Structures are given as C-alpha cells and as structure tokens.
Amino acid sequence: MSDSSKKTLLRMIGHEYKSGGYDKAVLAVGSTEYHGEHLPYGTDTLVAEHIAREVSSRVNGLLVLPSLPFGMSAHYSSFPVAVTLSTETLMRVLKEVFDSLRSHGLNRLLIVNGHDGNIPAIGAATREYRAHHPDFKIAVLEAWWETAGQLVPEGTFEVWGGLGHAGEGETSMMLRVAPSLVDLKKAKGVVPDLPLHVQLIWTFDELTPYGATGDPTKATKEKGRLMSDALVSLLVEFIEKMDERDWELLTPFSS
C-alpha cells in the first residue's frame, strides 16, 4: 500500500490521487468544544480522524477526506469555547459533501462520527440523501465510544462502562491517539445521576461542574489501544465484506 494511503485529501498531490485507485472515501465528523481541563478542544475530531486514517492504511482504495472539525455542540456551550453548527447546517454541509463525492464517481462512503451531538444530523442527512440517490452507498460508525465498549474484553473499564464526555474511555483513546495533548494531572469528572429508559434533555453544566463526565482518572494508554484496535479491525472487516458485495445489503431478499 502506498504512502499516500495515510494522507488526507488535504495533503495529497494530484498525481497521488489519480494513481491511488480510490473507489470509496471515509469522512471523520467531529467537534470543537471543551473537554475538561485535561483534553484538547479537538478531541472528538482527533479520535475520529485517527480511526479513519488507521482504517485507510489497511484498506485498498479508501480515500481519507479532510475531517469536519465543527458539529452540533449547542448543549456543550455552557463551557467555553464551543464552536457549534445547527443541526440543519450540519445536514446541509454533509449533503453537499455527498454531492461533491458523487459528482466524481466516489459513491461509497464511510462516516466515522466522533461526537454525540452530530448523531441526529448524520442520521437524517444520510437517510434523506439515500432516498434520492440510492446509488450512493453510506455506512456510519455512529458512536464509537459505545461500540468500543462492546468490543473490548469485559472488565476493561472501571467506571460507568468507560462512558462519559472526556471520561475513562475517551481519555484512554486520546492517550493512544495524541498522548502529548493529555494532561492527566488535571483530570476530573463526575458520573451523573440520569434516569433509565427515558432520555432527559440536558445542557452539560447541569451534569458536571468540570466539563467532563465519567472518571478520566482511570484512563490508560493500554485501554485506548484495545479500543482503537477493536474499532479499526471491525471497520476493516466490514469494508472488505462490503467491497465483496459491491456495497449491497448484507442480507439480500430471497427469491
């Protein structure tokens, strides 16, 4: 696999794209918002981009698009600084990215989402777009933090299943992705008392005074490695299977 397989399109030279045999793309969608005193504002973007790059380095023909660094972060805006788009704006941006790819014959897209506030926009935009353009195939890793928790060995996490904004799981991933940007000495979080089964709509300052939930003090680089490896392996296997089927449904209707 060529060196260009690890580059985003942003850093790619024209001849590298033309000779790369790209027939599909991966898009990391993140956010820019407060992640406690111990993680960078771009955590969601950096983690999603890391996953995208690692998958691309193991899959032929997968183009890494420049990451989207802004998402729907209104519910985190009580902590400075959150740069937020509305859900409607994010949907429009996504659809115009889809249009751009489709116009160049890149009709297979994997989206790696790094932020909870983006989930409604991604869900609506992708479903609406596919209804009008069924030839454009889309797959989404919607919530890597939940998926990773299901893939790593039982007992990996010590608090709240590793969940939380800037919590044990996300901080562990950042220790794997960009350890120089993590300051564990400043790590502090709280597990909020949320109801079961019914979703209570919150603003983040109602859940924590620290800008972080969960327990980031339990984070380790090894936990981050386990999460990263599991997610990348999952997505590589998924794409290889989808390529074999020309990105058609995994379970076709029987005649």
Decide if pLDDT at 6 tops 70.
no
Q: What is the DSSP string of 15-59?
A: HHHHTTT--EEEEEE--B--BTTTB-TTHHHHHHHHHHHHHHTTS
pLDDT of residue 211: 98
The residue-averaged pLDDT of 136-159 equals 98
pTM (two decimals): 0.96
Give backbone dihedrals phi and psi of 35, rounded to 5 degrees, phi first.
-125, 55
Asked whether residue 2 carries a pLDDT value surpassing 70, the answer given is no
- pLDDT tens for each residue of 173-206: 999 999 999 999 999 999 999 999 999 999 999 9
Q: Which helix (H) or strand (E) holds 109?
A: strand 108-113
Q: What percent of the chain has pLDDT over 70?
A: 96
Q: Helices 221-244 and 168-177 sit at what angle, rounded to 10 degrees?
A: 80
The pair phi, psi for residue 110, each rounded to 5°, is -110, 130
For residue 3, pLDDT over 60 is answered with no
Domain ranges across the chain: 17-159+228-244
Encode pLDDT of 84-112 as tens digits.
Answer: 999 999 999 999 999 999 999 999 999 99
Instruction: Name residue 103's amino acid.
Output: S
The H or E element containing residue 138 is strand 137-141
Residue 5 has pLDDT above 80, yes or no: no
Residue pair 161/145 in contact by the 8 Å Cβ criterion: no
In the predicted model, is pLDDT for residue 48 greater than 70? yes
Q: With cut-offs at 50, 70 and 90, classify the pLDDT of residue 250.
A: confident
- Consecutive H or E run containing 225: helix 221-244
Output the pLDDT for position 208.
98
Q: Is the pLDDT of residue 255 over 60?
A: no
Q: What top-level class would CATH report for the domain 17-159+228-244?
A: alpha beta
